[in-house]
């Protein structure tokens, strides 16, 4: 079945954005008197939305401490959003060949499906100059976050295509599980933010090393 549209994850797939989040997180953590965290840790926590990212940073671990004080979580989240809004896109960069690859796929309708909130998604796409490639954005505050399949199915609806006519391109467990649940084929990229997961174990249809490698897979 020819691919009629492509769904792209954002952070870790198109954009290396961890530096922005790392800086905003540590500013927020300082304001709530919690220890700052390393850039390396932040790269392992990205992928499940900003609330989960903040909770992991407060816990100092991928697994969230269930006893985190709710007022602290709420204030840290508010401060993270404030700081992130000031710097989103300032230190982020497209992964190699993303612009070239997206330009080569102009014949296919494309959507972003991300767990990032819409306001930050739009800022980031605009700052990096790739917003024009995408006719649809489905963001973390539009519907249930990945790995729930709802976001992918909403993107299909907006693109006027059926799930079996679509390919998902992502870098994480959440992307692969959401695609499987939506009955959508998925390309997993070996770079990005894997949260320590071996993506091969999750049985994506393709496991590819570079962004340009997706082009022949989409043309099959």
What beta strand segments (E) does 51-133 contain? 93-94, 110-113
The separation between the first and the last C-alpha atoms of the chain, rounded to the nearest angstrom, is 9
Is residue 187 within 8 Å of residue 14, measured between CB atoms? no
Task: Print the domain residue range for 105.
Answer: 5-16+92-219
The answer on pLDDT for 178 being more than 80 is yes
Q: How many domains, in total, are found in the chain? A: 2
The answer to whether residue 9 is catalytic is yes
In a 3-state reduction of DSSP, which class is residue 193?
Answer: coil
Q: What is the pLDDT of residue 32?
A: 96
CATH code where residue 204 lies: 3.40.50.1000
Same domain? For 10 and 34 the reply is: no
Q: What is the pLDDT of residue 196?
A: 81
- Nearest partner of 111 among 173, 161, 47, 180, judged by Cα: 161
* Domain boundary residue, one of 36, 65, 87: 87
Question: Per-residue pLDDT tens for 70-119?
Answer: 999 999 999 999 999 999 999 999 999 999 999 999 999 999 999 999 99
For CA atoms 194, 155, 15, 54, the dihedral sign is negative
Q: What is the mean pLDDT of residues 139-153?
A: 97
* Domain boundary residue, one of 38, 55, 87: 87
CA 170/CA 115 separation, integer angstroms: 12
The model carries a pTM of 0.94
Share the mean pLDDT of the chain: 96
CATH code where residue 74 lies: 1.10.150.240
Q: What is the pLDDT of residue 195?
A: 83
CA 185-191-196 angle, to 5 degrees, is 90
């Amino acid at each position: 079945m020819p691919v009629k549209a492509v769904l792209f994850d954002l952070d870790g797939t198109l954009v290396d954005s961890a530096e922005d989040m790392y800086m905003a997180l540590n500013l927020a953590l300082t304001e709530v008197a919690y220890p700052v965290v390393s850039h390396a840790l932040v790269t392992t926590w990205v992928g499940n939305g900003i609330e989960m990212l903040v909770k992991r940073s407060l816990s100092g671990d991928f697994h969230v401490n269930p006893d985190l004080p709710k007022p602290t979580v709420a204030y840290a989240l508010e401060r993270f959003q404030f700081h992130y809004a000031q710097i989103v896109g300032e230190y982020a960069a497209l992964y190699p060949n993303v612009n070239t690859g997206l330009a080569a796929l102009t014949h296919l309708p494309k959507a972003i499906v991300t767990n990032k909130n819409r306001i930050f998604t739009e800022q980031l796409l605009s700052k990096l100059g790739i917003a024009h490639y995408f006719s649809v954005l489905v963001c973390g505050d539009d519907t249930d976050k990945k790995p729930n399949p709802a976001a992918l199915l909403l993107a299909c609806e907006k693109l006027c295509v059926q799930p079996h006519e679509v390919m998902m391109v992502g870098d994480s467990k959440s992307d692969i599980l959401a695609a499987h649940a939506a009955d959508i084929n998925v390309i997993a990229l070996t770079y990005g933010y894997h949260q320590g997961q071996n993506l091969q174990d999750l049985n994506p249809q393709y496991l590819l090393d570079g962004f340009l490698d997706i082009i022949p897979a989409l043309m099959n």
